[in-house]
Chains A and B, each alone.
Chain A
Amino acid sequence: MRRRQRAAAGGGGSGRRQAVAHLGGLAAGACIPLITAMFTVSYSDGDARSGELSTPSGAVSTPGLLVYTHRGGSMNLTPDLLEPLRAAGLQGLQLDALQFLNQPTPAVVQGGGGGRKFMALDGPGTVLVATGRDPAIYEYAGAMRQATNEWASVTTPTGAATVTPERYVEAVAALHPDVWVALSDDIPSDSRTDRAAKSVDRTAAWLAACLAAAAQQPGLAAAAAWAAVQGGQYLHERQRYAEAVAGQPGVSGYVLGGLGTGESPEQRQQIVQAVLQRLPAGAPRMLSSVGTPEEVLEAVAQGIDLFDTAYLLDVTNGGYALAFPLSPEADQAEQQAQQQPGAAAGAAAGAAAGTLQAAAGVAAGEAPADACGRDDSKLNLWALAYRTDKRPLLPGCTCFACANHTRAYVHHLLQTHEMTAQVLLEVHNTHHYLQFFREIRTAIAAGRFAAFRDWFLQRRQRWLVSEGGEQ
């Protein structure tokens, strides 16, 4: 079912849910004078939706990927390599505010002109979202030192620490983000029910404390505050919090927290569903620290708008290059090329007699070797299959790495432990994943998201079936 809804600020939404989560509307009489982050849903397709989060720094198209950063930088990419990824759809970056409690301190960041300038992320069009969790490491600091009602127990780059809502907001404010997520009592999904209840109570109290502290921070005047929904695996706790926070003045978006911590996919689906039912439909919803392609598709199908994830980090560090086709059409073309290697290779090699056969032979001989170095979604560049492979990581890809370098070179860099390997892989993987999100948006806009999702999931099964069937 597809409908197109164009929501205007303050437009005729009746009842409590408006398509635009415009804080000014919800927070009538609240002491927040300037609200500038605005979310618009343009297309719906089932529960999936596509729209745009606009902020003073620029817009993020949703469903969208907030690219992971660590202490203000990407893992391996200097700005001259990161910024061209805008063309591929890079719009927003995720920052973990807990990395700015000390080294550098909020005062140092502030002294450097605020995070945006200090981290040289002040180019136009870069939306910064500050959260309270690093998607790359879930070290549950509470296991060592339980949080209290006054402070959270967190892991920072300089070790375990405790942080109060006030101190957290100070760190957030120094970053000059466009969106910030309030401090929450983040617990793993296997926490006991009493712990989950405590987490919900604390998170509610800390949200209020964060909003109060933020009102005193000029740096956050133009920033949108989002609430993190906790409650562990218990649907009733999740719902309790979602209901409490749904109409909270000063909150314009929501993050599903505490996930990716060991819950099953079914559990996660239930939690997401239970929470989303109780949140304003027009508000942006982000899923934190969950983000493989399948997880993204599932969550988008449920109505999630934004993701932060360390998936690309894992893929890159493993020496992989993402290589799944981005559309059913590309998939089909790829399959045809595989079935008729001679035709494709021969066309490239020229029409001379004998060349065709030779090329076909090479291609046929190459296929099994190639298979050793890849699965259906990525290449393992450590594999010896790529020793002399002159192709780019992904033929047809326009990223910097694919435009300039070969699989053989990346393979060699990995084998010799050269740092440039990760540089090239991170460029490609980020580029490819941003394109994947773009395809998701396109599919939703065209009302064919369900088909897109089915195609992607079945593609993976096809691989398993055909491999098993042949051998």
Chain B
Amino acid sequence: MAAPPSPAGAVQLPSSSSPALKFEVLAQCGRARAARMTLPHYVCETPMFMPVGTQGSVKGLTSQQLEELGCQVVLGNTYHLENRPGSELVAEMGGLHSFINWPRGMLTDSGGFQMVSLLHLADITEEGVTFQSPTDGRRMLLTPEHSIQVQNRLGADIIMALDDVVPSTAADDARFEEATHRTTRWIDRCIAAHGRPTEQNLFAIVQGGLDERLRDISLKGLVERDTPGYAVGGLAGGEDKRSFVKVVSQCTAGLPDGKPRYVMGIGYPLDIVICSALGADMYDSVYPTRTARFGVALVPEGMLKLKNAQFAADYRPLDEECGCMVCRRYTRAFLHPLAAKGLPFATNLISYHNIAYMMRLSRQIREAIKEQRYPEFVREYVARQFPAGDYPEWVVEGCRLAGIELSSSGSGGTAAADGTGGSAAVGSGGGVAAAAAAAAADGSRQGGAAADGAG
């Protein structure tokens, strides 16, 4: 448990050591912290974004490209992998790392999220969840024991407890109450079922919807169990963003300082910046790659909707500050017609860039924290996304909770309603943008396949 003294020599920085995980906070800046997390397969630096390879690949990219891009941990999804190809087969192939040839860290989600994404195919009881397979209709009973057993076979560095997840937009207080307590009951079953505690780290997941009281109950129950790390679940499901930052703030404050904190399903760059300010360490989402397949590139100003005709003769790289392979070689003008058609070549390139962007953002966050200038970083980041100073209320609120004052650089920093996070589309101007948005919405419907729905 002993942490090395901080550079100042005065403060003992938090740390923890579990049989298969060592977490050492390297620097703190307000509530934000940068840490080193040693996993069986990789030594990671947090805060970090983890791309999602739902079914064993981050769509369109190779494992080797993810390595080049500096990814530290890749997600896999228990429910989908158990369906196809099956965890026994993966075990026979030497585990998930070997099956997909990924040498660094891996994390598998428990299948809990599919209670949201595949709710129409799920039947939830105290014993577990019965899913009907979206591909062939077979039924699978996912109990806490089964989920852990499957994850033991997949062999990821971090495995997640099966939690009872309720869509955060549900208006059913009784269901949230039930799910909160059930999640705590299930963590004991998960811990008891965990067969590889010296090789894999079981993270508990805080539930409780948007209710402060329930979150508190969940936090208390789970912290008592002393798992190697913790996740905040049940968010990023379309809830209003003010509630979202409040819950994140409450949970990061209630979780042990010396252990990793993972906010599940977070992938909008701005969300990551704010959550990191609140002391979170890990994030995952399909957003960067999914939005790439809709022709959207992530940039410091927000995003570029490349289908928009305004890029037809724009010879700048996607992001002038990005040195990735795509930005070094290609222009927006080149990618525009290809993205508009959704060609795999183009979507692979944009996915590549978007992951590069997320990796760079994570690195910048870590550096700013280590250099004790995270508040400045946040202020600059937000100002760039909202050059008019019209900061969304939730951003202001999130920063306030993190102790960061947002100087309202523009006029009245009043509240554009809840933004979707980084929605400052560089590419949205006038009527053309409406068409592009319509095209993007069209893409969303096509892309909303269940198999895609990790988060």
Enumerate chain A interface residues (CB-CB to B < 8 A).
Answer: 70-81, 103-104, 107-108, 111-112, 118-120, 157, 387-388, 390, 400, 404-406, 408-409, 412-413, 415-420, 422-424
Bound together, the chains give a CA A103 to CA B334 distance in angstroms of 9
- Is B62 touching A424 in the complex (CB atoms < 8 A)? yes
Give chain B interface residues in 376-396, CB to chain A under 8 Å.
none
- Is A417 touching B344 in the complex (CB atoms < 8 A)? no
- Is A73 touching B346 in the complex (CB atoms < 8 A)? yes
User: Is B312 in contact with chain A by the CB < 8 A criterion?
Assistant: yes
Bound together, the chains give a CA A18 to CA B92 distance in angstroms of 63
Identity of the chain A residue whose Cβ is nearest the Cβ of B326 in the assembled complex: A78
Identity of the chain B residue whose Cβ is nearest the Cβ of A107 in the assembled complex: B313
- Is B84 touching A405 in the complex (CB atoms < 8 A)? no
Please name all residues of chain B whose beta carbon is closer than 8 Å to the beta carbon of A72 when the two chains form the complex.
334, 338
- Interface size band for B: 35 or more
Identity of the chain A residue whose Cβ is nearest the Cβ of B328 in the assembled complex: A120
Q: Select A409's contact among B80, B100, B348, beta carbons within 8 Å.
A: B100
* Given contacts A79-B325, A418-B57, A112 and B333 within 8 Å (CB-CB): yes
Per-position binary interface string of chain B over residues 304-335, scored 1 when its CB falls under 8 Å from any chain A CB and 0 otherwise = 00000000110100000000011001110110
Please name all residues of chain A whose beta carbon is closer than 8 Å to the beta carbon of B407 when the two chains form the complex.
none
User: Is B198 in contact with chain A by the CB < 8 A criterion?
Assistant: no
Please name all residues of chain A whose beta carbon is closer than 8 Å to the beta carbon of B57 when the two chains form the complex.
413, 418-420
20 residue pairs from A and B, CB less than 8 Å apart: A70-B345, A71-B337, A72-B334, A73-B345, A76-B344, A78-B325, A80-B68, A103-B312, A104-B334, A111-B333, A388-B92, A388-B93, A404-B101, A405-B101, A409-B99, A409-B100, A415-B84, A416-B56, A420-B57, A420-B58
Closest Cβ of chain A to B359, distance in Å, is 16
Please name all residues of chain B whose beta carbon is closer than 8 Å to the beta carbon of A408 when the two chains form the complex.
85, 89, 93, 99
Closest 4 CB pairs of A and B: A120-B329, A73-B345, A420-B57, A103-B337
Please name all residues of chain B whose beta carbon is closer than 8 Å to the beta carbon of A71 when the two chains form the complex.
337-338, 341, 343
- Is B62 touching A81 in the complex (CB atoms < 8 A)? yes
Bound together, the chains give a CA A103 to CA B338 distance in angstroms of 9
Bound together, the chains give a CA A77 to CA B346 distance in angstroms of 9
Please name all residues of chain A whose beta carbon is closer than 8 Å to the beta carbon of B101 when the two chains form the complex.
404-405, 409
Bound together, the chains give a CA A81 to CA B325 distance in angstroms of 12
Bound together, the chains give a CA A388 to CA B56 distance in angstroms of 15
- Is A418 touching B325 in the complex (CB atoms < 8 A)? no
- Is A79 touching B329 in the complex (CB atoms < 8 A)? yes
User: Is B194 in contact with chain A by the CB < 8 A criterion?
Assistant: no
Please name all residues of chain B whose beta carbon is closer than 8 Å to the beta carbon of A119 when the two chains form the complex.
334
Closest Cβ of chain B to A9, distance in Å, is 36
Please name all residues of chain B whose beta carbon is closer than 8 Å to the beta carbon of A423 when the two chains form the complex.
60-62, 348
Please name all residues of chain B whose beta carbon is closer than 8 Å to the beta carbon of A409 when the two chains form the complex.
56, 93, 99-101
Identity of the chain A residue whose Cβ is nearest the Cβ of B58 in the assembled complex: A420
Bound together, the chains give a CA A420 to CA B326 distance in angstroms of 18
Bound together, the chains give a CA A334 to CA B80 distance in angstroms of 38
- Is A104 touching B337 in the complex (CB atoms < 8 A)? yes
User: Is B352 in contact with chain A by the CB < 8 A criterion?
Assistant: yes
Closest Cβ of chain B to A136, distance in Å, is 12
Bound together, the chains give a CA A442 to CA B64 distance in angstroms of 33
* Given contacts A72-B334, A80-B325, A118-B334, A419 and B84 within 8 Å (CB-CB): no
Bound together, the chains give a CA A417 to CA B85 distance in angstroms of 12
Please name all residues of chain B whose beta carbon is closer than 8 Å to the beta carbon of A118 when the two chains form the complex.
331, 333-334
* Given contacts A409-B101, A418-B57, A78 and B65 within 8 Å (CB-CB): yes
